[in-house]
Each structure stands twice: as C-alpha cells, then as structure tokens.
Amino acid sequence: MSPVVPHSGETCVKVSLADRSYDIRIKAGLLRDIGRSLRDLGFSGKVAVVTNATIGRLYTQTVQSSLKAAGYHVTQVVLPEGERSKTLRTVSLILDKLAQCQFERGSVLVALGGGVIGDLAGFAAAIYVRGIPFIQVPTTLVAQVDSSVGGKTGVNHAVGKNLIGSFHQPRLVLIDPDMLKTLPTREWIAGLAEVIKYGVIADEAFFSYLEGHIDAIRKMEEGPVIHVIARSCEIKASVVAQDERESNLRRILNFGHTVGHALESLGGYRKLIHGEAVAIGMVLEAELARELGHCSNEVVSRLRALVKRAGLPDALPPTTFPKLWGAMQHDKKVAQGRVYCVLPEQVGRVVVVPLDQAQFKRWFSERRRKPSQARAPRSSSWSATAHRT
Ligand code: NAD
Ligand code: GLY
C-alpha cells in the first residue's frame, strides 16, 4: 500500500508507475498554490485550463491568478456541462483551442472539474500531438477519490459508456477538499458511493470506519473527509500501481459498475448521476453475489444499510431484463462476448466472475417477484467460474 506522508499539514499519496509515477497531494487551500506546484514539476510556457461554466465561475480566478503569478501564459477552455457532453465532439473543442493557440508537446493542460471534465481533458491531452502532460484538479468527491487517479481518460459513445478512450496518467493530482463545499448536496452524496466501494473491494477496517463516521462525513467534518479522500486514493493508487492497464486486479475497481453503467445509459445519463448508479449497482451486484453463493446475507445487509445511511439510492429503477442485460452487453468490461462482474465474497474481498445470461435472468425475475426477501447463500449449482483477483 502506498504510504501517506504528512508534510506541512499536507497528505501525499504516491502512485508508483516507474517513469509515469506521480503524487496525489491533498490539503485544504492547495488550489491557491497551483502555479507553484506546476513550477515544482518543471513546466514552463503555456497552460490550458479546461473547465465548465459552473466551476469556472467559482474557481478560475484563483487558478488564473496563481498561474499568472508563477509566470504562465494561461488559456481557458470552457466546455458544456454534464455527462451528456462527454463526447468526441466536446474533445474536438479542446483540440481546436489547443491548435489555435499553438500548444506544443511541452505545454500543459489542467483539468479543473469533476469526472466529466477530467475524462474529457485527459483524453484531449492523450491525443493532442500524440500526448501532452496534464494535471488533475478534481472538484467533486467522485473525482477526488476516483476519476482523477489512475489515468483512465475518454468519452461515451451512443452505444455505451466510456467506449472511446486512452490510458494517460496525469503528472500530478492536486486535491483541495475546500472545493467540495460548493458542490451540490446530491453530487457530494453521490461521491460517497465510490468511497464505500473501496471498503467493499479492499478494506474491511475502512468499511467499518465509514459505518462509524458516516454522519460526520455527511456533515463534511474536515478530519473524516480528509481521511476518506486519502484512504480512497491510497487504495486506488495501490491497485493502479499493480495493474495500470486493467489486465486483472484493476477490474475490482468496477464493483457496482457493471449494473451501474447499464442503469446510467438506460436513463439516458439524465435520471441517475454516476455515483447514484454505482450505489444501486453495488447493492444489486451484492444481492447477485449472495444468490450465486459467493457471500452471506450479512454482506448485503451491511452494504445496503451503509448505502442508505449515506443518503444514496439502493433500489433498481423500473426496467426489464432484456433492457438491462442488453445495456450490460455494451459495457467495456465485456470480454470474448461475456459480461464480467465484480462480486463481494466478504466486506473487503471480491471476486471477478463472468455472468451467465440464464443465471442473471433467473436472479432478475426472482428479485422482481420477492424484491426485499433476503436469501441464504446458495449451493454451487449456481456458482460461476471465479477469477480471484
Ligand atoms: P461531473 O463531472 O458531471 O460533476 C458533477 C456536477 O458538479 C457538474 O454539474 C459540475 O459542474 C458540478 N461541479 C463540479 N465540481 C463542483 C464544485 N466544486 N462546486 C460546484 N459544482 C461543481 O460528475 P462526477 O461525478 O465528478 O464525474 C462523473 C464522471 O466521472 C462520469 O462520466 C464517470 O464515468 C467518470 N468517472 C471516471 C473515472 C475514471 O477512472 N476516469 C472514475 C469514476 C468516474
Ligand atoms: N474507476 C475505475 C478505474 O479507474 O479503473
């Protein structure tokens, strides 16, 4: 596990990836130091700050004055807001601006925003002149604990979420938890889904901490919030360092996302925001794990209780088996025609299994008939081939 090193009140988590290693720096007020942070990395010349109008209104003045004071020539790129803007068309807006302003290989891009901005800006940085450096300045909880770390960048396609993209690691992740204070409550709560995910996939003690501190976290008390961000980043950094390109272990980060991404896409990216879809996905995938005999009912009930106490949704929105299964086929986690799903064995340990259509259909029909009925672990007649990671 990567160490968290306290240094002048700052927490630093290292993502160890040989010559692509970088720091995740966490401290309230860090945004004001962005100019110096870029200088410390040795960058000079042009910087493009990619953001949207909402975040821009709140933070670009601070960012611009810090960058200008450090001697940078700053260009701002303001993108349309929301998941529906995560498209190739929006990426080309960034590329147009970079080309018009004659950005070069040594120029830097700053992704100032949530996961949508981070994924879009990171992808533009990956492909402009075959790759320029970028830094992540995540402004939502989802982005601070997940999307800004690990180098997954990309956009959605009409057929499925995140189908087009590239691995391109940032040179720095600069996390200022103060920026979470302006986040709409719904977005703040949604981020807690990804935090809970880390407890389930890797750390029972962290899950217990969340159970014990969820009220303080929801109230945004500084100590618990910084702990939650730092521990989540540590877990993600450790997984990414072991499997940068998701050939095996990194798949565990997709817990809740097989069903979650399908629900997001079925709702036209309007009804559920990412974290909410992941919360429902985690509960349903845990139920499925129980049904397939991978975990006990206690795992499902602990998870469901924490999800609910966090203020997240846990119920499957109205849909049909063909729609849900169909949406799951377009997920990028499909391999050789099989849908893979991350299922909990215990809180803190998961397994990756290929799903069988008949099994999934049976579970889906059964839960519609008796939606809230808890069932004991089942016999192996339902168990799928497990790839332990
Ligand atoms: P988001 O980026 O859409 O941001 C949510 C909303 O909050 C937006 O309207 C935004 O303008 C607003 N906002 C952002 N920061 C704010 C602030 N500090 N104050 C006020 N308003 C603010 O949503 P998100 O949940 O951050 O990201 C979801 C996206 O991240 C999805 O597209 C998902 O696929 C992606 N994601 C990527 C990875 C990855 O590894 N690359 C991991 C997880 C999620
Ligand atoms: N959010 C999943 C990953 O980064 O792999």
Instruction: For 232-251, write each residue's pLDDT tens digit.
Output: 999 999 999 999 999 999 99
CA 336 to chain centre: 25
Packed helices 274-291 and 185-202: angle between N→C axes, nearest 10 degrees? 30
Ligand 1 midpoint to CA 375 (Å): 36
Ligand closest to CA 122: 1
**pLDDT > 70? residue 382:** no
The residue extents of the domains of the chain are 11-183, 194-369
Supply the mean pLDDT for the chain.
92
Residue 80 CB partners (closer than 8 Å, separation 6+):
52, 90
Residue 138: CB within 6 Å of ligand 1?
no
Instruction: Please provide the size of the chain in residues.
Output: 389
pLDDT band at residue 383 using 50, 70 and 90 as cut-offs = very low
| CATH number 3.50.30.30 given to 11-183 | no
Ligand 1 midpoint to CA 171 (Å): 20
SS3 letters across 282-326: HHHHHHHHHHCCCCCHHHHHHHHHHHHHCCCCCCCCCCCHHHHHH
| Structure tokens belonging to residue 137 | 């300045």
Q: How many C-beta atoms surround the C-beta of residue 191 within 10 A?
A: 29
* CA pair distance 86, 83, nearest whole angstrom: 5
Instruction: Please check whether residue 121 is in contact with residue 83, taking contact to mean a CB–CB distance below 8 angstroms.
Output: no
Beta strands 10-15 and 22-26: pairing type?
Answer: antiparallel
Mean pLDDT of 20-38: 97
pLDDT band at residue 2 using 50, 70 and 90 as cut-offs = very low
Q: Please report, as a single letter, which amino acid is at residue 310.
A: A
Ligand 2 midpoint to CA 204 (Å): 20
Give the pLDDT score at 375: 42
DSSP state of 316: P
Give the pLDDT score at 114: 98
| Structure tokens belonging to residue 378 | 């089942």
Q: How many C-beta atoms surround the C-beta of residue 263 within 10 A?
A: 23
Give the pLDDT score at 159: 82
Ligand closest to CA 190: 1
Residue 342 bridge partners (DSSP): 352
Ligand 2 midpoint to CA 197 (Å): 11
**pLDDT > 90? residue 189:** yes
Give the pLDDT score at 338: 86
**pLDDT > 50? residue 386:** no
Instruction: For 346-375, write each residue's pLDDT tens digit.
Output: 999 999 999 999 999 999 988 877 655 434
- Mutation choice for ligand 1 from 55, 140, 176, 253, CB with most ligand atoms inside 8 A: 140
* CA pair distance 1, 221, nearest whole angstrom: 26
Residue 163: CB within 6 Å of ligand 1?
no
Give the pLDDT score at 377: 34
Q: Which residue's alpha carbon is at the smallest distance from atom 8 of ligand 1? A: 82
Residue 83: CB within 6 Å of ligand 1?
yes
| Structure tokens belonging to residue 274 | 């990412």
Mean pLDDT of 198-215: 98
Any idea which of 54-58, 216-220, 334-338 has the lowest mean pLDDT?
Answer: 334-338
**pLDDT > 50? residue 213:** yes
Residue in 244, 285, 190, 252 with CA at minimum distance from that of residue 20: 244
Give the pLDDT score at 336: 75
pTM: 0.93
What CATH number should be reported for the domain whose range is 194-369? 1.20.1090.10
**pLDDT > 80? residue 4:** no
Ligand 1 midpoint to CA 66 (Å): 23
Instruction: For 54-105, write each residue's pLDDT tens digit.
Output: 999 999 999 999 999 999 999 999 999 999 999 999 999 999 999 999 999 9
Residue 291: CB within 6 Å of ligand 1?
no
Residue 250: CB within 6 Å of ligand 2?
yes
- Mutation choice for ligand 1 from 185, 187, 332, CB with most ligand atoms inside 8 A: 187
Q: Ligand 2, closest atom to CA 250?
A: 5
Q: Which residue's alpha carbon is at the smallest distance from atom 3 of ligand 2? A: 253
Q: How many C-beta atoms surround the C-beta of residue 330 within 10 A?
A: 17
Which residues are marked as active site?
130, 152, 194, 236, 246, 250, 254, 257, 261, 274
Instruction: For 256-312, write each residue's pLDDT tens digit.
Output: 999 999 999 898 878 899 999 999 999 999 999 999 999 999 999 999 999 999 999
Ligand 2 midpoint to CA 152 (Å): 7
* CA pair distance 334, 363, nearest whole angstrom: 20
Which is more confident, 300 or 5?
Answer: 300
Give the pLDDT score at 371: 58
Ligand closest to CA 249: 2
CA 365 to chain centre: 30
Give the pLDDT score at 367: 80
Strands (E), the chain: 4-7, 10-15, 22-26, 46-52, 73-79, 108-113, 134-138, 152-157, 160-167, 172-175, 340-346, 349-354, 387-388
Q: Is 174 helix (H, G, I), strand (E, B) or coil?
A: strand
Residue 197: CB within 6 Å of ligand 2?
no
Residue 150: CB within 6 Å of ligand 2?
yes
Residue 358 CB partners (closer than 8 Å, separation 6+):
none
Q: How far is CA 53 from CA 12, 64, 77, 251, 274, in A?
A: 30, 15, 10, 34, 20
* CA pair distance 50, 97, nearest whole angstrom: 10
